[in-house]
Structure 1
Amino acid sequence: MSVAHALGSQKPLGRHSLALLIGLQLLLVLTVALGGWGASAYLRQLTLTQTLEHAQAQAYNLEDALSQSFHLLKMHLQALGEDHPDLAQQPQQLQVAMAALQQKLPYIRSLSALDGQGKIHISTDPANVGQRLLLGELQHSVVPGAAGVLRFGHPWRGRNFADGTPWPRHREGGLVVDSGFFPVTLVLPGAPQWTLLATINSDYFINLALNHQTSVALRYSVYSDEGILLFSTNENAQPGTLMPRAEALQDILERQVGTAHWPQTRTQEAEVAAFRASRSYPWLVLAQAQTQEVLRPWRQQTERLAVIAVLSVLGLLLVTGSLTWRVRRVLAQEERHLEASRLAASVFSHSSDLIAITDSLGRVLTVNPTFERTLGFSAQEVVGRKLGEWQDGRAAPAGLTPLWTALASEDTWEGKVQERCKDGSELIGWLAASAIRDARQQVVNYVFVLRDLSRLHADEATIRKLSQVVEQSPLSILITSTAPAIEYGNPEFFRICGFSPEELLGVNPRIMQSGQTPVTTYRSMWAALKQGNAWEGEFINRRKDGSLYIENAIVAPLLNADGQTTHYLGIKQDITAYKEAEKALRLAASVVAQTHEGVMICDAQRLITDINPAFTRITGYTREQVLGRKPSILSAGSKNQEGYIAMSAALAASGHWSGEFWNRRPDGSVYATANSMNTITDDASQIAYYINVFQDVTERRQQQEFLESLAHFDPLTRLPNRTLLNDRIAQAMGRAGRAQSLLGVCFLDLDGFKAVNDTWGHEAGDDLLIVIARRLEACVRAEDTVARLGGDEFVVLLTAVTDTAECERAAARILASVREPIDVGGHTVHVGVSIGIALYPQDGDDAETLLRYADMAMYRAKQAGRNRWVLHADG
């Protein structure tokens, strides 16, 4: 192929190509404009939609928080009325209860009790006492004096009734800096002449709404169903005023939940809003924002995008116009110089060097015959390809990067390069490159001349690799003469011994001896070397600083062509750290094997990989039985479930956990262990092993449980004692008060027990008490309690009793059961029981009173002839 044919001829751009380019530019402008308009419209709708979705979620959250707060307030107020039915006779107790409730509910500023004329008699704010309030119309609208309904009043400004006034219905000027409060009332069902009044702190719910908002444009307001503003996060909104959009209120009350777009009016800006009416109370939550505020970020973004789009289009138009002009000019210049390039083709066709000519972009135009013969590629295969990229999928040599950099600034470059032939072999050569420029100093061609240096480079590479292997080896390499004297050491050798090359070259290697290497080691080494064999062993040497180190060494003779030893080669590795680690591992293994505490090691899958002898001694499992198994093989069952959860969480969070488990041995016996668990991580900070060190604490746990049992249970009958009984009576009274049910306390004293005790002995008496305890438990329900106070006195606590007759039926069952014959020590005995019954709440409202009255009733039963029951109320 000739150079002229390779270069070819190129025609300049015609008028039709220029018109096509202008048409494409106009199409680009139109596409950008339409795309920008569509994206802007989509983003606008998306902004409004996301704002409404967020407003709807926030309205739901605020409504739910308010409803839950008022549900809780209603429940506590009703409970307060039930616990204090006669408010006038217990003012101090009511005052304490109200103060406690105010502390529990942070959104309450004060609690007060009003009579039928609206006068405050009791209040947690002393300044309110004596105030006579006109609360106005309340919501819900119910019959005056209706009990059990939570009602909401007109909002007030100020801290409380003593220093506050109702908000006016007309708008006052300026910002609202005092959100004030609003009253909530509840007429007591049991005492309709009394009304409990709570003042609700508006700031509490305003802060609640603000703490959860993510859009500064949204404002949250709470209106009554009459459209009166209770409170708002908007500083321009005044509580007590009517909702500005009357038609919006009607729409909200009809739909209850939803969103809305409100248009601009003479007094109101256009707004988007989400609303939710309360499911239980006469108010609604409104989350709203001015449309222009919501869309402000969208407008700003749209303006920025428009500016960027305009500037981008203008830039593209300028660039494409400039390129069109420049291409036309370059093609004209190339046409003028094409003839000169054809003349130069004959010069390089007979060269012994590899020659290639490319265009200004580095694409091959032609190559000489030597190029084809040496690399194996024909001219047809490489023409049109970039320099070095002779085949698809094969990148250009990395060494060409500085070539192009130099040609761009200096027009010439020389250097060594590596090229790959078609058969895959490597060719190393010296490349000279030149840039050919036209009269305007524009590059039109590049000429590359490559001289083959493959064989020379191969020899140099071999020597260089050998040198690098020795110099960069992580092993210590030493060469000595036969004297011996050190002739060479690599950097690792000098680093390990601490000497410099100047201090050791020409010196006998014994300078590094510590005197602690056995003499037999050196003898065996020299014996092997003199026989022409290699030797391997360990040396204990001394560094320059005096510290000792251990080396594993391979020493071998170096032979010349005649087979005579000329030098010795030593290849050594510092194994000091390995020896220390080996020693530490042996010590650790010995400690683990000898410790009295059990040790269990699990892998990342929590399978047991190792145990120590103490593990087998404590658990009863041998090594063969547990290796490869999960630790759950030791578990005693579900009583460890909470501990397992806590253990997993702690190990994941901190890598450490300590606690106790109940485990089971192979023979079925249960034992307790105190465990200390840790994780070991790998180089990637992933858990590799779990280590559990534990000890048997069964005896300690049993003693602890025994002591806890003595504190709450009678040792003989295992029944609850007086301490546990008092606690259960207190809990049962609380449940009975809430459920409005009765509670029966039955005091029992055995009839005839002293005779059995005196006749057959204390052991027989103890057996009798145990039998009686079991019979009493069988006479009552699982939720009832049977307790022993001491001697032959028992107490039966009957919970959730509906009437007195139910207590008497239980007493009848107890009498019948106790009268049954009892076999103690081979003797049949008969005893009876006298029962006194006191009821909660009519006989008493605390455990001590109930037990005292039941005891008194029991004594009346004994005086009446024994073996019967007596109600305290009948006395």
Structure 2
Amino acid sequence: MAAGASPAEVKSGVADSLLPLPEATPTGRRLGRGSVALLVGLQLLLVASVVAGLYFSGQHLRGVVLDHTRSHAQVQAHNLEDSMTQSFNLLDMHLRALVAEHPEIQYAEQGVAPRDLEKALTALQNKLPYVRSLSVLERSGRVLASTQAANIGQQPALEPLLPHVAPHTPGVLRFGVPWRGRDFADGSPWPSTPGPEASSHARDAGFFPVTLVLPEAPQWTIVAAINSDYFINQALNHEAMPALRHQLYTDQGTLLLSTAEDDLPGTVLDGARLAAVLERQVGVAQWPGPRGDAWLVAFRPSRNYPWFVQSQASSTQVLQPWRRDMRQLALLAGLTLVLVLLTTGALTWRVRRSLQREEQRLEETRLAASVFAHSSDFIVITDRQGRIVTVNPAFERGTGFSAAEATGCLPGHLSPSHPVPAHLDAMWAAMATEGAWQGEVIDWRKDGTPLTGWLTVNAIRDSAGRVVNYVGVLHDLSRLRADEATIRKLSLAVEQSPTSIVITSTAPAIEYANPHFFHTTGYTPAEVLGANPRVLQSGQTSQATYEAMWAELVAGRVWQGEFVNRRKSGELYIENATIAPLVDDQGRITHYLGIKQDITAAKEAEKALRLAASVVANTHEGVMVCDAAQRIIEVNPAFTRITGYTATEVLGRKPSLLSSGRRSREQYPAMWQALNQHGHWQGEFWNRHKNGSLYAAASAVNALRDAAGQVTHYVSVFSDITERKHQQEQLERLAHFDPLTGLPNRALLADRLQQGLARAQRARQGLAVCFMDLDGFKAVNDAHGHDAGDDLLAEVARRLQGSIRAGDTAARLGGDEFVLLLGGLHHPRECEDTARRVLHAVALPIEVEGHTVHVSASMGISVFQRDGCEAEQLLRQADQAMYQAKQRGRNRYVLYAPGMADADPGSA
């Protein structure tokens, strides 16, 4: 409510303004014939009085109109300045908060738009309707990011900027010259001297730039394009006097915006007038206009920024209603003067008395209306049925509902989507019985936020005692209740904090500690409150730590470190402490605040982690850790030694980069099945070294799961077993191959013979077993030595392999005995071609130890043609046939035939 006016005055005055004014009805009185002379004299006097009164009243009303215009201009200038200052305060606050909300801005480099900055600027622009765009400038002045994509890459000419400070001074909101156009991409600064093209932009209010160098990130300058139309419309929407125009000038006299269409932004105020404004700061003046008329001017500077608001009106326009009224009044006076001359002096006296009462009533109404319009409390006036008749501007600003939206509605029913306030029933009940009610209420704003306030309601009655209106005055308590809620939350946060919080005096003595402190130390409040904090000392914290702490605190700085303290039970514990001085308004330290966390368990865990990390780093086995997406996140030095890859080369990649391609199709599914079912798999891989070589790895893989059973990591521990695999392969080769010739030995021959028999039975084909013995080998061995004999055997083995098919087998049984397995025969004679090739190849000259020698071979062939024949039987038959070949002259082959065993019983 306005100062100097009581609630009763506001309610009665405003309510009276809603009631009809009583009409004055003249009463005639016949004059006596004997009083004609006196009546004529009185009539002449009355005429003179009316004329004089009409003149002087007109002059008085003219002065009242001019005074009212000046007063109204001052109020409007104040309101517009206050509104715009608050708007730019809000813009300044939000821009400064950008770095706090997006700390990555202060680390971003020049030329690279900070991450998510455009989203933050767009969100901020949506909060500020008077901002057309928000752009980020690098030091060169180029737009790096903007809420308007067209601005990016532009380099707008912003100078000159006010106030005058050093370039790139952080934290100063600066204002530039006005621009025409929608934004920097399609706009240009208004010229200070209007040219011929200015008329085409006369209705373009344009915009003006406001810049701020971010305090925590001075490499970035935020420039806001301020929508001039927003403030123009705001001024016009709240303007009840059409003749009044509002202008915004910089302290250098440049016009930023004006509600008048014929005022061009960028023009400069007359130097004498600018000097007068800057000298007086706040005031009113009367300046000569361009057409010889007088202009009534009110001006007011911003409290915080380099501009001032000027509200002015032409006296010619302001006095037009007064002139019209005076002409009508003069006409009415001429028409009514005849009637007035017929009235009596008594009627004149009654009329004058009535006019005096009416003037007093009008003055009271004007005062009440002024209070109603300028009160900071929400005022609502309803009719006798409780429907809203009118609301004051504070109600519109505070609730978001316009007067048009509220008129005709019941209080508490403006937001249909929200429940009806609980106080309404009690309020109307009290109004019906007592005519007044007050109490704390909770209602809803238009945007859905709650509105808490203290409501006072009174009934307004007419002279007959009947209720004609209800007046409600609501004092907004939302900020107070929000502050109280914040304090309660802070108190709960401290009381329920999982860290110890201690407040001490400067003595120091403990004045407050939260429950977690007592839980951690084991002490009770009675044992530590008022005591010195050294009661917790264990003697194991170095004196240097305490000296460093006090040096920081006495200097007014925050200290952070660790203490080894002792609980009441005597148990030692380690705590991380952050201690800060608390200062009053004069900057004097009054208390110390300590926030402490028991990190004993964390220290033990850290020690265990260091041990585990040391074990992993120094183990001979390679260790590879993958996340749930199977991407490598950690390896140890042994991993690099085994694979050849450094940690930098593999982090973020999948283990498949080690694959050699030699894994079987079943190995991966089996591994994942084991990991999913049992969480463990163990096996061997052939992997590829970074240099391209293959190596064998014995690997154990474990799946690590969280409390919910979800896999979080995979850990693989592996070792290089390549040498062991090579040794194993060598042993296997020695077990199945003849070391001299490389041919399969007797054991492998038996296995292949069994396999050949099984294939022959399945395919209904023949299998030939050729038993071959060299002729003349002993002579070569005796004549040239065992080395020559070994070379001879090796060469014969090569010729045997070159004479048979890829699917056939050549084996050495020992000495100079060889066996050939020839499969896939459709007729027994098919093997004879191979036998001839073999005998021819063996009989060719052979170079050994520098000598050319000749040997031949005798071969016996046994062909499998029926089921039931055993492998050992086939070998025996081939052996018998071979001896037949030797007896027949050597260097030949003989097919086994039944009866050979009887003919040569000793040949087996």
Q: TM-score, normalised by structure 2?
A: 0.49
Aligned residue for 1:638, secondary structure, equals coil
Aligned residue for 1:873, secondary structure, equals coil
> Following the alignment from structure 1 to structure 2, what is the Cα–Cα distance between the partners of residues 488 and 624?
51
Q: CA deviation at 1:693?
A: 2.0
Of 512, 519, 526, the match for 2:536: 512
Structure 1 equivalent of residue 694 of structure 2: 670
Of 870, 874, 894, the match for 1:846: 870
Structure 2 equivalent of residue 291 of structure 1: none
Structure 1 equivalent of residue 894 of structure 2: 870
Structure 2 equivalent of residue 756 of structure 1: 780
Change (3 A) 1:691 1:383: farther
> Following the alignment from structure 1 to structure 2, what is the Cα–Cα distance between the partners of residues 801 and 703?
39
- What amino acid does structure 2 have at the position aligned with 1:542? R
Are the counterparts in 2 of residues 354 and 449 from structure 1 also a CA contact under 8 Å?
yes
Aligned residue for 1:719, secondary structure, equals coil
Q: CA deviation at 1:564?
A: 4.3
Structure 2 equivalent of residue 829 of structure 1: 853
Aligned residue for 2:485, secondary structure, equals helix
1:587 correspondence with 2:611:
yes
- For structure 1, list consecutive stretches of 5 or more residues without a partner in the other structure: 3-348, 358-363, 434-447
Of 552, 557, 560, the match for 1:528: 552
Structure 2 equivalent of residue 81 of structure 1: none
Aligned residue for 1:718, secondary structure, equals coil
Q: Deviations over 1:438-475 (max 9, x none)?
A: xxxxxxxxxx9987544652453343243234224443
Are the counterparts in 2 of residues 640 and 662 from structure 1 also a CA contact under 8 Å?
no
Of 558, 572, 596, the match for 1:548: 572
Larger radius of gyration: 2
Are the counterparts in 2 of residues 600 and 692 from structure 1 also a CA contact under 8 Å?
yes
Change (3 A) 1:677 1:801: same
- What amino acid does structure 2 have at the position aligned with 1:466? L
* RMSD (Å), alpha carbons: 4.2
Matches within 5 A, 1:169-248: none
Q: CA deviation at 1:861?
A: 0.8
Change (3 A) 1:402 1:599: farther
Matches within 5 A, 1:48-447: 366-367=387-388, 369=390, 374=395, 375-378=399-402, 381=405, 390=414, 396=418, 418-422=442-446, 427-429=451-453
Structure 1 equivalent of residue 193 of structure 2: none
Q: Deviations over 1:621-674 (max 9, x none)?
A: 444554555444444443566544543444454443222222343455433221
- What amino acid does structure 2 have at the position aligned with 1:694? F
> Following the alignment from structure 2 to structure 1, what is the Cα–Cα distance between the partners of residues 665 and 858?
46
Aligned residue for 2:891, secondary structure, equals coil
> Following the alignment from structure 1 to structure 2, what is the Cα–Cα distance between the partners of residues 814 and 354?
123
Q: CA deviation at 1:684?
A: 7.5
Q: CA deviation at 1:388?
A: 6.7
Aligned residue for 2:829, secondary structure, equals helix
Structure 2 equivalent of residue 485 of structure 1: 509
Are the counterparts in 2 of residues 843 and 873 from structure 1 also a CA contact under 8 Å?
no
Aligned residue for 1:571, secondary structure, equals strand
Aligned residue for 1:783, secondary structure, equals coil
Q: CA deviation at 1:512?
A: 1.8
1:745 correspondence with 2:745:
no
Of 590, 595, 598, the match for 1:571: 595
Are the counterparts in 2 of residues 636 and 664 from structure 1 also a CA contact under 8 Å?
yes
Change (3 A) 1:642 1:843: closer
1:808 correspondence with 2:867:
no
> Following the alignment from structure 2 to structure 1, what is the Cα–Cα distance between the partners of residues 663 and 590?
79
> Following the alignment from structure 2 to structure 1, what is the Cα–Cα distance between the partners of residues 410 and 762?
92
Aligned residue for 1:714, secondary structure, equals coil
Q: Deviations over 1:193-231 (max 9, x none)?
A: xxxxxxxxxxxxxxxxxxxxxxxxxxxxxxxxxxxxxxx
- What amino acid does structure 1 have at the position aligned with 2:891? N
1:718 correspondence with 2:742:
yes
Are the counterparts in 1 of residues 761 and 867 from structure 2 also a CA contact under 8 Å?
no
> Following the alignment from structure 2 to structure 1, what is the Cα–Cα distance between the partners of residues 837 and 666?
41
> Following the alignment from structure 1 to structure 2, what is the Cα–Cα distance between the partners of residues 730 and 387?
105
Aligned residue for 1:717, secondary structure, equals coil
Structure 2 equivalent of residue 141 of structure 1: none
Change (3 A) 1:555 1:607: closer
Q: Deviations over 1:289-312 (max 9, x none)?
A: xxxxxxxxxxxxxxxxxxxxxxxx
Are the counterparts in 1 of residues 625 and 633 from structure 2 also a CA contact under 8 Å?
yes
- What amino acid does structure 2 have at the position aligned with 1:579? K
Change (3 A) 1:842 1:641: closer
Q: CA deviation at 1:676?
A: 1.9
> Following the alignment from structure 1 to structure 2, what is the Cα–Cα distance between the partners of residues 655 and 384?
73
Of 612, 617, 623, the match for 2:636: 612
> Following the alignment from structure 1 to structure 2, what is the Cα–Cα distance between the partners of residues 383 and 414?
22
Are the counterparts in 2 of residues 367 and 379 from structure 1 also a CA contact under 8 Å?
no
- For structure 2, list consecutive stretches of 5 or more residues without a partner in the other structure: 1-14, 16-371, 458-471, 901-908
Q: CA deviation at 1:380?
A: 5.6
- What amino acid does structure 2 have at the position aligned with 1:735? R
- What amino acid does structure 2 have at the position aligned with 1:571? I
Q: Deviations over 1:542-581 (max 9, x none)?
A: 2334433322222233344555443322122333344334
- What amino acid does structure 1 have at the position aligned with 2:534? R
- What amino acid does structure 2 have at the position aligned with 1:867? N
> Following the alignment from structure 1 to structure 2, what is the Cα–Cα distance between the partners of residues 766 and 384?
123
Of 715, 718, 735, the match for 1:691: 715
Q: CA deviation at 1:701?
A: 1.3
> Following the alignment from structure 2 to structure 1, what is the Cα–Cα distance between the partners of residues 538 and 822?
91
> Following the alignment from structure 1 to structure 2, what is the Cα–Cα distance between the partners of residues 689 and 840?
60
Q: Kindly tell me the number of residue pairs found equivalent between the two proteins.
A: 502
- What amino acid does structure 2 have at the position aligned with 1:714? D
Q: Deviations over 1:126-169 (max 9, x none)?
A: xxxxxxxxxxxxxxxxxxxxxxxxxxxxxxxxxxxxxxxxxxxx
Aligned residue for 1:853, secondary structure, equals helix
Structure 2 equivalent of residue 464 of structure 1: 488
Change (3 A) 1:665 1:451: closer
Structure 2 equivalent of residue 728 of structure 1: 752
Of 682, 685, 707, the match for 1:658: 682
> Following the alignment from structure 1 to structure 2, what is the Cα–Cα distance between the partners of residues 356 and 547?
71
Q: CA deviation at 1:533?
A: 3.9
Are the counterparts in 2 of residues 636 and 663 from structure 1 also a CA contact under 8 Å?
yes
Q: Deviations over 1:653-704 (max 9, x none)?
A: 4443222222343455433221122344568766554433222212221222
Change (3 A) 1:481 1:806: same
Sequence identity (%): 59
Structure 1 equivalent of residue 519 of structure 2: 495
> Following the alignment from structure 1 to structure 2, what is the Cα–Cα distance between the partners of residues 449 and 531?
51
> Following the alignment from structure 1 to structure 2, what is the Cα–Cα distance between the partners of residues 539 and 644?
53
Change (3 A) 1:367 1:820: farther
> Following the alignment from structure 1 to structure 2, what is the Cα–Cα distance between the partners of residues 425 and 402?
16
Aligned residue for 2:897, secondary structure, equals helix
Change (3 A) 1:403 1:610: same
- What amino acid does structure 1 have at the position aligned with 2:801? E
> Following the alignment from structure 1 to structure 2, what is the Cα–Cα distance between the partners of residues 825 and 639?
46
Structure 2 equivalent of residue 253 of structure 1: none
Aligned residue for 1:716, secondary structure, equals coil
Are the counterparts in 2 of residues 836 and 861 from structure 1 also a CA contact under 8 Å?
yes
Q: CA deviation at 1:499?
A: 2.9
- What amino acid does structure 2 have at the position aligned with 1:778? G
Of 814, 817, 822, the match for 1:793: 817
- What amino acid does structure 2 have at the position aligned with 1:767? D
Are the counterparts in 2 of residues 843 and 872 from structure 1 also a CA contact under 8 Å?
no
> Following the alignment from structure 1 to structure 2, what is the Cα–Cα distance between the partners of residues 571 and 791?
92
